[in-house]
Every structure is written in structure tokens, then in C-alpha cells.
Homo-oligomer: A and B are copies of this chain.
């Protein structure tokens, strides 16, 4: 009976914004900001156009809220990555990228947020800046930390990867844009692609790839 305290109507009220954002995401991702009709958003959310305005002041506000809502889970996921490092740096990197592929490439929402930002950056420059500050920047810094850790423990040789950890991350972006552009059917991020990515990365980072053992 305690659960009955929350009436269905109240429940609804609390869920509405989320439902609208969910519908808005689908429409914005497909049609872009200008190409999206609030009619379609409302229809997808199972409400009427007017209701949107009870929760969002304008189409622009709705777009901003949609992107921010999408950023949230990614940020949270990223936070999980910055755990204290220990063990071989390469092992950390493997875990790191396993995580990144799962949460930034396989996750459709994470991919689509990139499309939306790329498409609308001139209309919503703040969103891109924010995304850089909250998602991309931290991701790069985390990566840089691992590279430095690897160099410090003598596992990695000093390399430009310290200055441009982006280079290690690039295949992830590649897979991401590839799927955005050519669809899931021609996806580039299967297990083999990931393995190839890690393989080449290993070769480029390790001090003496497989030769270390040979030297002993």
C-alpha cells in the first residue's frame, strides 16, 4: 500500500520529461535539429504537441536537454575508467578499450550524440564545447595517464602517444563515424577490428615488442 502512495498520474508526471527526451532523441538523431518536427516528437512520445511545452520552453531548449541527457550516461561511464592504475599498462589499455567500444561505439545513443553535435555545432556551439570538456577531454586525459604510466614503468617506450593519445583513440572514432555513415550493416567494429586495433597499438607502444623476452 505504500507503493500506492504514488498515483499513476503522479508517476506519469515524473516520467514525462524522460519520455519526451527519449522521443526527441530519436527524431533529432534522424532528422537533425531543423528537420525535426515537434509533431513527430509528440507522436512518438504518445502525447500532443502542446504537452512538450509544459516541460521545455522551446525546440532549442528541448534539443539542448536531449544532448545533455545523452551525455550523462557517457560521462558516468567514463568516470568508471579513471580508477587507479596497477599491473601492465597494456592490460589496462585492453580493458579500457573493451569498455570504450562497448559504451561509445556499440551504444547507438553515444554514436548519435556525435552525429547531432557534428551537425549542429554551428547552431549550438556551447554543446560541442561542453562535450569536449566533459567527455572527450577527460577520455583523452585518462588515456594519456595510462600511456604515461606505461612509460614510467618501462613497459612503453617514450613516444608521441604521450602528447597525442588521440592517435590511440582514433580507431574508435573511425568505427563510430563509419557506423554513423554507412549503417549498422557495414559496421567496422567487430571483434576482429578491435583485435587488430589493439594489436597495432601494442606494436607501436611496447618498448621491445616480443623482443623483450628474446633479449633475456
Integer count of this chain's copies in the complex: 4
Q: Is the CB of B118 within 8 A of A200?
A: no
Q: Is the CB of B199 within 8 A of A159?
A: yes
Q: Which of B35, B160, B174 is close to A199, meaning CB atoms less than 8 Å apart?
A: B160
Q: Does A196 contact B (CB under 8 A)?
A: yes
Q: Is the CB of A171 within 8 A of B167?
A: yes
**What residue of chain B has the Cβ atom nearest to residue A120's Cβ?**
B32
What number of A residues sit within 8 Å (CB to CB) of B? Answer: 50
Known pairs A132-B181, A200-B160, A204-B204; A119 contacts B169 (CB<8 A): no
Main secondary structure of the interface of A (DSSP, over half): helix
Q: Is the CB of A166 within 8 A of B188?
A: yes
Residues of A participating in the B interface, judged by any CB pair closer than 8 Å? 30-35, 114-115, 117-123, 128-129, 131-132, 159-161, 163-164, 166-167, 169-171, 173-174, 177-178, 180-182, 188, 192-193, 195-197, 199-201, 203-205, 208, 211
- Can you list 27 pairs linking A and B with CB atoms under 8 Å apart? A30-B122, A31-B34, A31-B122, A32-B34, A35-B123, A115-B119, A118-B118, A118-B177, A118-B180, A128-B181, A159-B199, A159-B200, A160-B200, A161-B200, A164-B192, A166-B174, A166-B178, A166-B193, A167-B196, A167-B200, A169-B174, A173-B173, A173-B174, A174-B174, A200-B205, A203-B203, A203-B205
New A-B pairs, 10, CB < 8 Å, besides A121-B180, A173-B177: A33-B35, A119-B119, A132-B182, A160-B197, A163-B196, A164-B192, A166-B174, A167-B196, A170-B173, A211-B211
